[in-house]
Amino acid sequence: MTNANLPRRSWVQRWHVKGIGWTALMVLLLIGSSKMTDVNVGMFFSNLDQFADLIVRMSNPAWDYLSVIIQPLIETIQMAILGTTIGTVFAIPFALLAAGNLVHNKFLRGFDRLVLDLVRTLPDLLLAAIFVAIFGIGSTAGVITLAIFSFGMISKLFYEVIETIDMGPLEAMESVGASKITIIWYAVLPQIMNQFVSYFLYTLEINVRASTVLGYLGAGGIGVYLQRSLNEFNYGATAVIILATIVVVLIIDGISNHLRRVLL
Amino acid sequence: MDEHLATFLRGAYEMEQAPIISFKHVSKVYSNGTVGLKDIDFSIPKGQFLVVVGLSGSGKSTLMRTINRMHEVTEGEVYVENEAVSAYKGRSLRTLRRRIGMIFQNFNLINRSSVEKNVLSGRVSYYPTWKSVMGLFSAEDKQKAVASLNRVNMSEKIYARADELSGGQQQRVAIARTLMQDPKIILADEPIASLDPLTTKTVMDILKRLNQEDGLTVIVNLHSVELAREYADRIVGLRAGELVYDEPISAVTEADLNKIYQAI
Ligand SMILES: Nc1ncnc2c1ncn2[C@@H]1O[C@H](COP(=O)(O)OP(=O)(O)OP(=O)(O)O)[C@@H](O)[C@H]1O
Ligand SMILES: [Mg+2]
């Protein structure tokens, strides 16, 4: 038996024209855009010595600074937890309304998704700058920024999970005469709870990292101290802040990764 | 006195004979143009064990779902206990559905929840939404859940998770859930299609017992001609959405049934 009865591949398929074409196009675009934006790769290498200089100056961590930054580190974590939680609470109803398998009203769903899309287009750094301007320097601005960011991210992740659930239990609950909310509670939530928690933790991870950067804009937490130490050329303190932040982020990531593995 | 008694007896007789479900020239065209049902016109007396047979796509599921208004009809009217089902809305529609239990091919239990919670979920239409959501079921209803599980021989699995059970066990739990509704009618849409022969018999026997002991009207969609002949009081056949066969079991012949299953 030969494969004589297989259809012949066209020359486009035989020579992988599509794959090669796309790759070539990508490379061209990359070169073109770096030309246009004046990215100078050479500068990256020629300035490496400055980088090395910074490293040398930071290689003397001022460990006694650690006691100063414990409090702002805790504040950073609190900001992340609070922001993620607030964002999630608001995301849940929006995610339910955006799910095509729960809401059949196209206009309601479309409007809801439009709102979510708009929220997601807002850059978090811009939000932080605005809220620092409104609420002044401090964690309030950070929490609100993180809440809005989490809201946009979680509502999308959540409604995509909701759209994958098994509709059978919903049909069964509908047939026993359950109300909409009861149906969601009994037939939808148990199916998505684990993934919800997993996405919550994932967003929390991102927010812990993001909140250190946001603090740099004055939105509270460890970032404020990072900025101050850099401005004062206090590189010993900078080193401690960076190391401590890395450790905290690693710990949070570890805990959340572990929990998510257990859940899924 | 005789006159009164006669009137009473006649009344009782008529009530006994009054159909619990009637289809009056019911047609259903799906929004994509598929004809689901075509001019269905027949009645089902109270306490009957009706089996609906027909090829895949002949409209058995559609017919069943017009009774509890999981599907809307496009023409004609379905009456349940002499009330047009199209008249029900919102809360009253839920109380209509409460009177009609439904059993599915895929059982449609909430997999991640316990057997007890699944069974209690059949009772939610008797509670306000907030009580259902909080799980505030009365002691009587918890007792009733045990009793329902006892009727299907599943009470020892009350604390197991639904997805730990075999298919036949899950279908028995689904029947227990339906019993919590105190239904007058049971609709079973190919309840045994994913079960082996032995569990098939168990499940069909339970349905027959509910029909004979509790006087429930039972409507079962089946693909198996032998099972139809073994359990039915009456067999109706559908083909391409039309009622092409309707005989009491005493008049059903093998040849008739084979004809329904011959695609034309
Ligand atoms: N939601 C829907 N939208 C459009 N057409 C549908 C829909 N549901 C069912 N149909 C069509 O209606 C017809 C009847 O379907 P139905 O599910 O009632 O058949 P059935 O007899 O239950 O078949 P099976 O034995 O495979 O379950 C089929 O042609 C089917 O494709
Ligand atoms: Mg079907």
Res. A224: pLDDT tops 70: yes
Q: Write the Ramachandran bin of B18: left for phi over 0, alpha for psi from -120 to 50, otherwise beta.
A: beta
In short, whether B60's Cβ falls inside 6 Å of ligand 1 is yes
Residue numbers of the domain that contains A258: 65-263
Candidates B85, B124, B161, partner chain A, best to mutate (most A CBs within 10 A): B124
Contact B187, B103 (CB under 8 A): yes
- pLDDT tens-place string over residues A198-209: 899 999 989 988
- pLDDT tens-place string over residues A105-147: 889 999 999 999 999 888 888 888 888 888 888 888 889 999 9
Residue numbers of the domain that contains B154: 46-61+98-261
pLDDT value for B154 = 93
Inside any domain, residue A255: yes
Give the H or E element holding residue B122.
Answer: none
Residue B134 pLDDT level (bands cut at 50, 70, 90): very high
Inside any domain, residue A59: no
Q: What is the mean pLDDT of residues A69-82?
A: 90
In short, whether B57's Cβ falls inside 6 Å of ligand 1 is yes
The answer to whether A178 contacts B177, with C-beta atoms less than 8 Å apart, is: no
| CATH number for the domain that contains residue A176 | 1.10.3720.10
Inside any domain, residue A21: no
Q: Any CB–CB contact under 8 A between B106 and chain A? A: yes
Res. B12: pLDDT tops 70: no
Inside any domain, residue B204: yes
DSSP state of B63: H
Inside any domain, residue A55: no
Inside any domain, residue A129: yes
Inside any domain, residue A92: yes
Inside any domain, residue B155: yes
Inside any domain, residue A46: no
Query: Which residue of chain B comes nearest to A180, CA vs CA?
Result: B129
Q: Any CB–CB contact under 8 A between B9 and chain A? A: no
In short, whether B237's Cβ falls inside 6 Å of ligand 1 is no
Query: Which residue of chain A comes nearest to B69, CA vs CA?
Result: A175
- Quick count: other Cβ atoms within 10 Å of Cβ A1? 4
Residue A159 CA, ligand 2 centroid: distance in Å: 29
In short, whether B13's Cβ falls inside 6 Å of ligand 1 is no
Instruction: Give me the helix-helix angle, A235-263 and A48-58, nearest 10°.
Output: 90
pTM across the whole model: 0.80
Number of domains in chain B: 1
Inside any domain, residue B125: yes
Q: Which of B150, B183, B181, B163 is nearest to B107 (CA)?
A: B163
Residue B215 pLDDT level (bands cut at 50, 70, 90): very high
The DSSP line for B233-262 is SEEEEEETTEEEEEEEGGG--HHHHHHHTS
pLDDT value for B16 = 54
Inside any domain, residue B228: yes
- In this structure, which residue's CA is closest to atom 27 in ligand 1? B56
Number of domains in chain A: 1
| CATH number for the domain that contains residue B244 | 3.40.50.300
Inside any domain, residue A110: yes
Res. B17: pLDDT tops 70: no
From chain A, pick out residues whose CB is under 8 angstroms from the CB of B106.
168
In short, whether B33's Cβ falls inside 6 Å of ligand 1 is no
**How far is residue A89 CA from its own chain's centroid?**
17
Q: Any CB–CB contact under 8 A between B129 and chain A? A: yes
- pLDDT tens-place string over residues B69-118: 999 999 999 999 999 999 999 899 999 999 999 999 999 999 989 999 99
From chain A, pick out residues whose CB is under 8 angstroms from the CB of B191.
none
